[in-house]
């Protein structure tokens, strides 16, 4: 009886996000592979040079922080949970490539909530590009 109860309880536990939402990258692009339990799998590859803006949304301690990647030719962003498999490392890679300012990244990671974007927008709503190269 106890064994059946344990088995039932384990089936009730959701699969961790990092087991079904994965992000990886290579020299030319980053790749998302999502296989949500009970839903259709999907994937996408985005060239590094297509990225126009990156935002980090700090959430409360009970929710995953999120990375929003904006690209040329698409109005919507790609949302990457930081708790995805490879999510923390992907955040580091965005900063390393100069696609998000390092000082702003440190502030964002220490925040309890809020949205932080790079490049920041000027008074006319135009983005300021970082000085480091995306290589």
d(CA 134, CA 22): 22
d(CA 126, CA 135): 23
DSSP state of 33: E
Taking the alpha carbons of 42, 36, 83, 103 in that order, is the dihedral positive or negative? positive
Instruction: Write the pLDDT tens digit of every residue in 63-92.
Output: 889 999 999 989 899 999 999 999 999 999
Which pLDDT value is given to residue 64?
86
């Amino acid at each position: 009886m106890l064994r059946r109860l344990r088995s039932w309880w384990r089936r009730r536990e959701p699969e961790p996000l990092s087991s079904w939402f994965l992000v990886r990258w290579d020299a030319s692009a980053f790749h998302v592979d999502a296989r949500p339990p009970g839903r259709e799998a999907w994937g996408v590859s985005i060239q590094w040079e297509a990225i126009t803006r990156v935002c980090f949304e700090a959430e409360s301690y009970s929710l995953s922080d999120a990375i929003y990647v904006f690209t040329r030719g698409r109005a919507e962003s790609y949302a990457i949970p930081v708790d995805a498999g490879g999510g923390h490392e992907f955040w580091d890679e965005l900063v390393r490539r100069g696609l998000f300012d390092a000082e702003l990244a440190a502030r964002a990671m220490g925040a309890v909530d809020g949205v932080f974007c790079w490049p920041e927008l000027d008074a006319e709503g135009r983005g300021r590009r970082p000085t480091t190269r995306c290589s």
